[in-house]
Amino acid sequence: MDSRPSTILLWPPIGGINNENVGSGGGGVTFDSSSLRQQTRIPKAFIWPRRDRQAAIEELDAPVVDLHGFLRGDEASTRRAAELVRRACERHGFFQVTNHGVGERLVRDAMECTDAFFKLPLPDKLRARRKPGSLWGYSGAHADRFSSKLPWKETLSFGHHDSESCIVVDYFASTMGKDFDGMGRVYQMYCESMKKLSLAIMELLAISLGIDRSHYRELFEEGRSIMRCNYYPPCQEPEMTMGTGPHCDPTALTILNQDEHVGGLEVFASNKWQAVRPLHNALVINIGDTFMVRQLPAFPLSPLFRESNEFSTQELLYFGAALFWKHASFVFLWPPIKFALANGRYKSCLHRAVVHRHGERRSLAFFACPREDKMIRPPKDLAAGGRLYPDFTWAQFVEFTQRHYRADVRTLHTFTNWLQSSSSSSTSMA
């Protein structure tokens, strides 16, 4: 007889969870991590399939790019940095950066704030709970998705935009109270530093592709961004679960500040899982699906993220995401999509986060997003071979999903038809 406990859920009760209220973003699942750690065996809902839990036995060859010369405008240093970035992005899309201009004290303060938040009593954390239809807030396990594969983590997400100088401070004050103004100010400064760095990385990516260095910077300059704080508690059976399941980021760029004392980030490259070793005062950069192409007719199911994507419905609307269609033991991508920014030159690889028996782990992920009214298309120099995906703006995509169509695995295919239909209607009315 299986003696594993049922998942400890605060809301909703297990009997109240169904595909309709989960898929519509009508709520989330919350668990008490401190109570879970007191049990000798983890609940069934946190046990992942064995294929997703294959151990990493090697370290990823992720180059370390020194940005000091590039940020100072040194041409030779810029060429060297761009070459390292190009090689990494053509192979697996991951590299680390040092001398990145983000103050070590600020990074430490942000990590300390993350520790402080997740160590709060659960009722206090629930003051910031992610509400239905919202991008921001706290969740245990993962909001908007319930399955037999819950991640062993807690998250806190909030937004940042340059035009609103105190947006992060205001968020913490409105959700947590004035006592958290200090935490809000630290995260505000951290997001501002991440945004500045993300624009510099955009320039470096453009240089590495041999196009105008301002092309991607202009696209993202006034865009909104999402900041996510992750906390992975110690787990009594770490070999049975995942902190974050295998997934590809739907964004263009992610900047990750991973715990330098406790590793956990792993990348699926060269047909195997490989660990990304934490480095002191280094940040991990990875490109997402909007920089790559998925054009092969089918891939084996096990290496792909399938239903374990760790982004919520609202975040997928915010970012744009890969379209996939599951059938039998394969994942078919239909239609074959050339994503907008690099037209397939660079790779976006599967990655995941593992947990540990004795050590807790935390990380800070910053996701760069374009401005809503910017047209998403690759530079002409990178689209010489033709394109299979239409131009669109983020605003169009969000309007479609919020007003006309509930987001699901066929969203982008249906969105394409909607764009074509809207264009035809406008032409006939002219």
Tokens 């002191």 belong to residue: 280
Query: DSSP per residue over 114-139, as a string?
Result: HHHHHTS-HHHHGGGBPPTT-S-EEE
C-alpha span between 165 and 319 (Å, rounded):
22
Predicted confidence (pLDDT) per residue in 351-402, tens digit: 899 999 988 999 999 998 877 776 666 556 555 555 545 677 766 655 665 5
Tokens 């009214």 belong to residue: 373
Residue 326, phi then psi, degrees to nearest 5: -90, 135
Predicted confidence (pLDDT) per residue in 23-35, tens digit: 333 345 567 777 7
DSSP designation for 53: G
* CB proximity list for 118: less than 8 A, separation 6 or greater: 125, 154, 156, 229, 231, 362
Contact call for residues 87 and 345 (beta carbons, < 8 A): no
Neighbours of 381 (CB within 10 A): 12
Kindly tell me the burial class for residue 256, based on how many C-beta atoms sit within 10 Å of its own C-beta (0-12, 13-18, 19 or more): buried
The whole-number average pLDDT for the span 279-302 is 63
Q: Using 50, 70 and 90 to split pLDDT, how confident is the model at 412?
A: low
Question: What are the structural domains, with CATH classification, of the chain?
Answer: 9-398 (2.60.120.330)
Choice among 352, 361, 362, 387 that is catalytic? 361
Please indicate whether residue 361 is annotated as part of the active site.
Answer: yes
C-alpha span between 340 and 60 (Å, rounded):
27
Cis peptide before 238 (omega within 30 of 0): no
H/E stretch holding 416 reads helix 411-429
